[in-house]
Amino acid sequence: MKITDVRAIPMSDPIPAERQHRTDLGTKVKSDAVLILVDTDDGLTGMGASLGSPETVSAIVKYDLAPALVGEDPVYSEFLWEKMYNGSRWKPALERGHSQPMDGRRGVTMEAVSGVDIAIWDVKSQALGLPVYKALGAVRDSIRGYGSGGWAPGDEAEEEMGGYAAKGFSAVKMRVVGRDGFSVENTVRRVRAARRGIGDDVELMIDAHGSLDVSTAIRLARTLEEYDLAWFEEPISPDDHPGLAEVRRSTIIPIATGEREFTRFDFEDLFMHRAVDIAQPDIARAGGFTEIRRIGAMASARGIRLAPHAWGSGVLFAASIHMAMASPNCH
């Protein structure tokens, strides 16, 4: 089986005004995505998707990645990942047994590589006659999901988060910054309301989107410890690994982060700083199935749990579910 073409299809779906959702990140007016297809001479087509600018990802796939992949066997997924990552230096990199990337080690290029890797694993799994999670090495046949929202202001968080619990979710996540802005006191009020709404038997997580400084994150975490939080996600900038470690040492709440990290090399620094309890690589950013397997193994060696981040198209949600079902230390 040989790859005959690699295609990227940019997509954009405007959201009607009455359905637009305002959060601390702004008002979402459209949903963008890029679909990536890997065609083979056996008539099989693998499907992946990517984050990043659809137009930019499409250009990277067309001009940088596709020429390196056409004619190759998609079963050799590890080899193809190294070829995409190292670019024109792929051959000496493989011969010498260490990475020698020229460009595109992070950012939108890695998001394109991630999407192509997802599609390669899809077509490889089709050829093997297996779902992707079984081709990866299955651990389980299902995975628990959680309800994610929690922008409601003040005491309205009780009804919003309680609604997720009423739908059957055994875990829910809310944002630190609500539609009424942020203060430690306001967030405590909202978390208290959320806990009332979901009861004591549903896990509750909070997410700050990296918006706080170290001292504020520590103060907030200590104030919220009585509400039995399952994790505190991205309390401060994800670039500040020493700061994350300081927050982690200052609270009993587990710290989760990783959705904005690229490849095992970013996660190695995060792990070396002992800055995280729950690693959250995004399959469309961190390197696809191939690289998240490596990240998961690194995390396992340090007793760190895995909770793959998933946000975007349906293809990415499906890929993330397969990754979770093949990860022994998945939370």
Instruction: Assign residue 63 the CATH number of its domain.
Output: 3.30.390.10
DSSP string, 38-51: EEETTS-EEEEEE-
Burial level of 230, CB count in 10 A (0-12/13-18/19+)?
buried
Q: 308, 280 in Cβ contact below 8 A?
A: yes
Q: What tens digit of pLDDT does each residue of 301-310 get?
A: 999 999 999 8
Question: Is there a single domain that holds both residue 200 and residue 317?
Answer: yes
The answer to whether residue 222 is domain-embedded is yes
Q: What is the mean pLDDT of residues 231-242?
A: 97
| Domain total of the chain | 2
Question: Is there a single domain that holds both residue 163 and residue 77?
Answer: no
Report the C-alpha gap between 108 and 297 in whole angstroms. Answer: 25
Question: Is there a single domain that holds both residue 103 and residue 221?
Answer: no
Active site residue 309: yes
Q: What tens digit of pLDDT does each residue of 79-133 get?
A: 999 999 987 666 777 777 777 676 678 899 999 999 999 999 999 999 999 999 9
Question: Is there a single domain that holds both residue 111 and residue 151?
Answer: no
- The answer to whether the pTM exceeds 0.85 is yes
**End-to-end Cα distance, the chain:** 36
Residue-number span of the structural domain to which 224 is assigned? 147-325
Q: Which entry of 21, 241, 273, 309 is annotated as an active-site residue? A: 309
Q: What tens digit of pLDDT does each residue of 205-234 get?
A: 999 999 999 999 999 999 999 999 999 999
